[in-house]
Amino acid sequence: MRRRQFLAWTGAALATSVIGACASRLDTRHGAAPSRPTDAAAFRAARRYADLPFGKIAYVERGSGDAALFLHGAPLNSFQWRGAIDRLSAYRRCVAPDFMGLGYSEIPAHQSLAADAQVAMLAALLDTLAIGKVDMVASDSGGAVAQLFVARYPERVRTLLLTNCDVEPDSPPPKVKPAIEMARAGTLADATAQWLTDKALARSTFGAAVYRDPSRLADETIDYYVAPLVSSPLRRAQYHAFHLALEPNPLAGIEAALKRSTVPLRIVWGASDDIFSPTDADYLDHIFARSRGIRRVPEAKLFFPEEFPDIIAEEARRLWGVV
């Protein structure tokens, strides 16, 4: 029964840094795709750790100048943004951390994984990296954290680019709730771990739910996302805790603060996503006073930034004024 429940949910919802930096500057100055896209091995080699009061936070950094902060969704990690970073590190100091409870960040057992704690962690990470202000790019549950960050630290956000993500009236969305129930029952990690040994299952369930073309979800990508989540009893418990922290609604009461925001917002929305409603994009466009409108990508699903990094790069450069 748990397996069937998990399949139902996933059917609806889960080089080196030097070479990469040089390739980025040579090949992406005018928005061209990089000649050598970053793969899992190169991304792993570029991973760094920041020792914070919250734990050892994994992140990847490339580029120089004004900083851009990339926030991933669940159950992904910063690898989600590799294509965008390949294209944008010629224009920004791109920083992509792994949230607590996901990815390769190493967090003590007592640490809260709730969205407000993630916001505090990000602020501490930026302080450690001597970054005062950022352009934020965020997706899925990372979009909820980004909105909370804007509300708490408005002076630290230069611009905000959001793809399909939580909004106050729709957080968590109904199609994520079965995953939360599996986390509550303690079965989500076991079900997710099956993807490591059955890649076809990963593509036909999770992949089909959130990617336009799940056949392009490479084995190494599945391994890079899933392996840390189920690597130890603590990590499995934290994977569950991350999902349990999605309730109650972490964005409750945030609307008034977002309406006061003067941060320029651009919304890029995967129109084929059935997890977050198209009206969620309209909501964001309405409440941000400096919204620059919505670009809807007809064929795109929830995690389209991985499949369409050129669109993310194009919209980010336009928002940043570096086209």
Provide the H-helix boundaries in the chain.
2-10, 17-27, 40-46, 82-88, 115-128, 141-152, 177-185, 188-197, 199-202, 208-210, 219-226, 233-244, 255-260, 278-287, 304-307, 309-320
Query: What CATH class does 2-320 carry?
Result: alpha beta
pTM score, whole prediction: 0.91
Measured CA to CA, the distance from residue 305 to residue 198 in angstroms comes to 24
Task: Please give the pLDDT value at position 27.
Answer: 44
Q: Could you tell me how far CA 299 lies from the centroid of its own chain? A: 20
pLDDT at 18: 34
- Whether residue 209 is predicted with pLDDT greater than 80 in this model: the reply is yes
Rounded CA separation 257/254 (Å): 6
State which amino acid sits at residue 313.
A
3-state SS assignment for residue 160 = strand
pLDDT, residue 149, reads: 98
Please check the confidence at residue 71 and state whether its pLDDT lies above 70: yes
- Residue 3, pLDDT > 50, answer no
Tokens encoding 241: 């805790």
pLDDT tens figures, 122-146: 999 999 999 999 999 999 999 999 9
Decide if pLDDT at 179 tops 70.
yes
| pLDDT for res 40 | 97
